[in-house]
Amino acid sequence: MKISRFTMNPFGENCYILWSEPGGECIVVDPGMMQDREKEMITSFINDNKLTLKHLLLTHCHIDHACGAQWLSERYGVEIEAGAKEAVIAENMPIQAQRFGLKIDASSFVIDKILSEGDVITLAGEDIKVLETPGHSPGSLSFYIADSSVILTGDVIFQSSIGRTDLLGGSFTQLIDVIKTKILTLPDDTVIASGHGNTTTVGDEKIYNPFI
């Protein structure tokens, strides 16, 4: 499976497109587009590669990861899929924009399909396993692709760092437990594709992450 990364908005958020080949199906994870040029970046990639968007997944509903979800859902006619406990955060999108001083159209949206621990989404013959990984956000999810040795973690863990836990529903204790039991128990060569910054690996974070 191919994973293409696009860095969005003032927060430097990573939006990912999962795909296999031109003309095939794809998945968008965390569409954080805040400007027209960012929307064009995503649609151009999908259209240029003649991809069919099948799933729109959110690791969580903080505005930097989800502000483009409703637009993309309407543009391609796909459901917004996320964790159940993110519903309140999705409803409060305008409040999030105000809190961060963002002059953008940030409308509330509804999660169309609830994802839970153990759910499996298939793309190009590879299984994408849903893991519930709260702590940064109450309903945060990670998406593990064993065949490609990669996990998309949103803001759970970063290279030599972890997600903040001072926002609504955050819990430092819960986050550390999730990282230790669900992320760092994966094979050491598993690539961590996080919501901000560069990729890292499970093995490197075991050694170099000062929070672990």
C-alpha–C-alpha distance, residues 188 and 34, integer Å = 35
C-alpha–C-alpha distance, residues 39 and 51, integer Å = 16
Q: What is the DSSP string of 81-97?
A: EEEGGGHHHHHTHHHHH
pLDDT at 167: 87
Task: Report if pTM > 0.95.
Answer: yes
Q: In this predicted model, which residue has the larger pLDDT, 101 or 196?
A: 196
Structural contact between residues 8 and 34, judged by C-beta atoms closer than 8 angstroms:
yes
Q: Which helix H or strand E contains 143, and what residues bound it?
A: strand 141-145
Mean pLDDT within 141-153: 98
pLDDT at 212: 87
C-alpha–C-alpha distance, residues 172 and 157, integer Å = 12
Structure confidence at residue 197 as a pLDDT band (50, 70, 90): very high
Domain borders along the chain are 2-208
Which CATH code, of 3.40.50.300, 2.130.10.10, 3.60.15.10, 3.10.20.30, is assigned to 2-208?
3.60.15.10
Structure confidence at residue 36 as a pLDDT band (50, 70, 90): very high
- Tens digit of each residue's pLDDT (9 = 90 or more) over 63-109: 999 999 999 999 999 999 999 999 999 999 999 999 889 988 888 99
C-alpha–C-alpha distance, residues 110 and 135, integer Å = 22
C-alpha–C-alpha distance, residues 38 and 6, integer Å = 9
